[in-house]
């Protein structure tokens, strides 16, 4: 099965969680919007699907995945679908739901990360909501990030996995997603993470072990990995990290 | 199977989406935090589970559901689990994923509704973030709500359901959730909804038909239905609706 991923071509964003799963599994996939328009790619190919109002199952927003005749949107939903197909999820229904639950919790945190630089409106520039961003980021660093990271640290502590992964049955996509979360927070808030990272030893170790997995290491060193930048979810504005 | 729902006892909030599904199905359930402490209920029973750091599958936040030995959190995940058990979801895997995807899109909108009155921090009072709330709500009413509601209206238009439900296979929990969304928006923003509701005839008709379903009508008229109030997600602050 060749998977087609549709996502913005110049950012990691939410699509990166899907890219990481496809890369780790060595799956056959195309990152459609990053292909030339002459090969049926480009943003226009993505927008055509988003704008096709006759489609019964039209996505609300990227990322979405085409798998044969199915089109699936919502990052966590895509991973829930891909998990068993890529051998990146527990086999039991209960295990799959648990990993999905964690991914949804992580998705909630991502919204809060995004809103540190866009607390008023996504359609406005950061520069047009700087005082609000400063206030919101302060609260994020003081309260929200520690609440979520403390939770994930504790999930790792309570896990019965002997290998230090989130679930006892083995490596899964939530390990990849936590890697991406830790990497993104370090990019966006290096000072805050430097101060706090000692409180999350399991999460930090998980990040390092995921980064060292052969396929992930190869991916991170390849041009397929888009660099973090100030158009994505994790943005580095030094004044917010101060 | 007796289901135990754990959620804040004095608000509709996210728990209401689960309550509606349980009520529509006539399921055997207990709303644990609304039971007296002497009967093992109350907020304390809920907090005990949230605070139990030794639990391998501890929820991050309410609502969560106990079904036998399983504890499931994240509203959309709970509905994804309950859907087939309560005959409120399509039978096919693809159909279940589609309904779940819509519920996740609705969940994204709920965060934005919440942030109209709390754009800076959940831990601060609304009164401490009023100018920001005014700005964010303006954008919500002008841009965000129309984008989401237009999307859901179009999903109904593109659906092959002859009965006017979201999916062709029949009534499902996403119909209940859209009812709750429309009801909540009318409560929070009566002026804005009065101006715009004509643009969403299918959604409005869906709301009315769900409200008239015998079990939902009975529930809405019972003391089990908590009234909308200014502690929940949908809050009516006239100055924001102006």
Structural domains for chain B? 3-85 (3.40.30.10), 93-213 (1.20.1050.10)
Q: Do B56 and A160 touch (CB under 8 A)?
A: yes
A14 to chain B, any CB pair closer than 8 A? The answer is no
End-to-end CA distance of chain A: 47
Predicted pLDDT at A96: 98
Task: Assess contact for B181 and B188: CB atoms under 8 A.
Answer: no
Q: How many CA atoms lie within 13 A of A77 on its CB side?
A: 29
Taking CB atoms and an 8 Å cutoff, what residues of chain B touch A70?
94, 97
Record: contact A80-B97, CB cut-off 8 A: yes
Give the distance from residue B174's alpha carbon to the nearest chain A alpha carbon, in angstroms: 14
> 3-class SS at A92?
coil
Q: Do A132 and B119 lie within an 8 Å CB cutoff?
A: yes
Give the tens place of pLDDT for each residue, A73-132.
Answer: 999 999 999 999 999 999 999 999 999 999 999 999 999 999 999 999 999 999 999 999
Average pLDDT, chain B: 98
Question: Which residue, among A59, A77, A89, A174, would best test binding to B if mutated, counting the most B CBs under 10 Å from its CB?
Answer: A77
A186 touching B (Cβ < 8 Å): no
> And the tokens for A104?
């949804």
The answer to whether the complex's ipTM is over 0.95 is yes
Q: Confidence band (pLDDT; 50, 70, 90) for B242?
A: confident
Mean pLDDT taken over chain A: 97
Is some CB atom of chain B closer than 8 A to the CB atom of A189?
Answer: no
Q: How far apart are CA B176 and CA B170, in angstroms?
A: 12
Determine contact, residues B99/B90, Cβ cutoff 8 Å.
yes
Q: How confident is the model at residue A242 (pLDDT cuts 50, 70, 90)?
A: confident
Q: Does B81 touch chain A (CB under 8 A)?
A: yes
Tell me the DSSP string of B14-27: THHHHHHHHHHTT-
Nearest C-alpha of chain B: how many angstroms from A28?
A: 21
DSSP A160-209: --SSS-SSTT---HHHHHHHHHHHHHHHH-HHHHHHHGGG-HHHHHHHHH
Containing H/E element for A81?
helix A75-85
Structure confidence at residue A204 (pLDDT): 98
* Element of type H or E holding A64: strand A64-67
With tokens 């599994």, the residue in question is: A25
pLDDT 10s digits, A39-70: 999 999 999 999 999 999 999 999 999 999 99
């Amino acid at each position: 099965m060749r998977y087609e991923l549709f996502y913005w071509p110049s950012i990691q964003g939410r699509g990166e969680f899907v890219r990481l799963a496809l890369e780790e599994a060595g799956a056959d996939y195309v990152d459609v919007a990053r292909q030339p328009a002459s090969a049926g790619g480009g943003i226009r190919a993505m927008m055509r699907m988003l704008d096709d109002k006759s489609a019964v199952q039209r996505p609300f927003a990227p990322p979405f995945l085409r798998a044969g005749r199915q089109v699936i949107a919502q990052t966590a939903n895509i991973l829930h679908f891909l998990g068993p197909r890529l051998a990146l999820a527990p086999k039991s229904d209960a295990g799959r739901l648990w990993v999905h639950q964690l991914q949804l919790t992580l998705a909630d945190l991502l919204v809060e990360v995004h809103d540190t630089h866009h607390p008023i409106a996504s359609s406005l520039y950061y520069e047009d909501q700087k005082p609000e961003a400063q206030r919101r980021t302060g609260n994020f660093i003081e309260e929200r990030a520690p609440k979520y990271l403390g939770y994930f640290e504790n999930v790792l502590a309570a896990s019965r996995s002997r290998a230090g992964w989130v679930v006892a049955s083995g490596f899964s996509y939530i390990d990849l997603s936590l890697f991406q979360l830790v990497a993104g927070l370090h990019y966006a808030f290096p000072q805050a993470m430097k101060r706090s990272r000692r409180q999350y030893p399991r999460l930090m170790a998980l990040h390092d072990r995921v980064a060292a997995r052969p396929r992930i290491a190869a991916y991170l060193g390849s041009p397929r990995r888009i660099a973090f930048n100030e158009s994505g979810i994790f943005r580095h504005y030094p004044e917010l990290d101060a």
